Amino acid sequence: METGRSGEVIVVGGGVIGLTTAIVLAESGRRVRVWTREPVERTTSAVAGALWWPYRIEPAASARAWALTSFDVYEELATRPGRTGVRMVEGVQGGATLEETEAWALGRALGLRAATAEECPGGGLWARLPLIDMPAHLRWLRERFTAAGGTVETRTVTDLAEAKAPVVVNCTGLGARDLVPDTSVRPVRGQLVVVENPGIRTWLVSTGADGEMAYFFPQPGRLLLGGTAVEDEWSLVPDPAVAEAIVRRCAAWRPEIAGARVLEHRTGLRPARGTVRLEREPLSDGRVLVHNYGHGGAGVTVAWGCAQEAAGLAASW
C-alpha cells in the first residue's frame, strides 16, 4: 500500500486547476503525481477562450482574491508569451463600469477606461488583461510540473478511493459529479468557432439585450469566436446553427469576421456549481482528501489562487 510514502500527493484531474495545484505542491517539495483521464491537451481547459475575468463563479469575495492572485502570476508569465502562452491584451468588457471594477481590482494598473458609445454601445470598459492561449499554456504547465519532479499519468478513475497516497487532491471538475458524488456540479455547455484572424488585435466580450453572448479573442494565428452558456446540456457535438449565430453576433461588432475562413469548431462543458468547493476532508483511514472543483467558466481566472489555497490545505497533513 502506498500510504507509507511520506509527503506523496496524487492530484486527480489534469486540466488547468489540477496542473496549477500540482505545480504549487511539487515546487514546495512534495512528491506529486497527476492522474488525468484525457491527455492534458484534450481536457476541457484546452477549449477555453481564455480571458482572465471572474465569470459565473461564487463565492464572490473568495473568487476575487483567487483571481487577483492569479492575475499577478499571469502578468509575470506574459513577459515570456512564446513559452507560456500568456499575453497581456487590450479589449472591451461590455457592460462593465469603472466603479464596479475598481472596487475589486484594488488599483492594479490594467489600463482601465470607460468605452465610448461609439466603441461599445450600451457602455463598457477598456482593460488590458491576461489572454491565454490554452493549448500552448497547458503544454507549458505540464513541462513546468515535470521539471519540478512531478509525473503525469493518463488514467481513468472511477472512485477516488483508488488514489492511495496520503494526500489526494480532487481537481476533477465535472467528473466530481460522479466521483464524490456531488450532483450539484452541473455542465454549462460552451461552443466556439475558430477562424482565421482578419487582423483583429483587441478582444471584446458583450451580452446583447436578448441575453446572448458575443466575444472574440485574438490568439496566435487565429481568432476565437463565442459564445454560449447552456446549462445542463451534455452534448459535445458542435451545432451548425449555433456556430452561424456566433459568427453573426461577432460580425455585428467587426464586419470583417463574416468573411473569415472557419478553421475549427470547439465545444466544452464548464463545471458549474453553486459555489466552488475548496476544502479539506479528513478520511477515516487518516489520509486527507482536498477538494478543488466547481469553478464554472472561471477556472483559468482563479487557477493559481485556488492552487495556493489547496496546497495550503494539503500541507498540514
207 is in an annotated binding site: no
202 is in an annotated binding site: no
300 is in an annotated binding site: yes
Cα–Cα distance between 87 and 259 in angstroms, integer? Answer: 26
259 is in an annotated binding site: no
Cα–Cα distance between 187 and 172 in angstroms, integer? Answer: 13
301 is in an annotated binding site: yes
* Cα–Cα distance list, 285 to 7, 160, 165, 167, 298 (Å): 16, 14, 11, 11, 34
Cα–Cα distance between 243 and 73 in angstroms, integer? Answer: 33
206 is in an annotated binding site: no
Cα–Cα distance between 65 and 104 in angstroms, integer? Answer: 9
296 is in an annotated binding site: yes
299 is in an annotated binding site: yes
Question: How does 53-90 read in b/e, with b if 16+ C-beta sit within 10 Å?
Answer: bbbebbeeebbbbbbbbbbebbbebbeebeebbbbbbe
Cell of 100: 464596479
Question: In degrees rounded to 5, what are phi and psi of residue 80?
Answer: -130, 60
Chain position carrying cell 453573426: 248
215 is in an annotated binding site: yes
Binding residues for D-dopa: 215, 270, 297
Binding residues: 44-45, 172, 215, 270, 296-301
Binding residues for FAD: 44-45, 172, 296-301
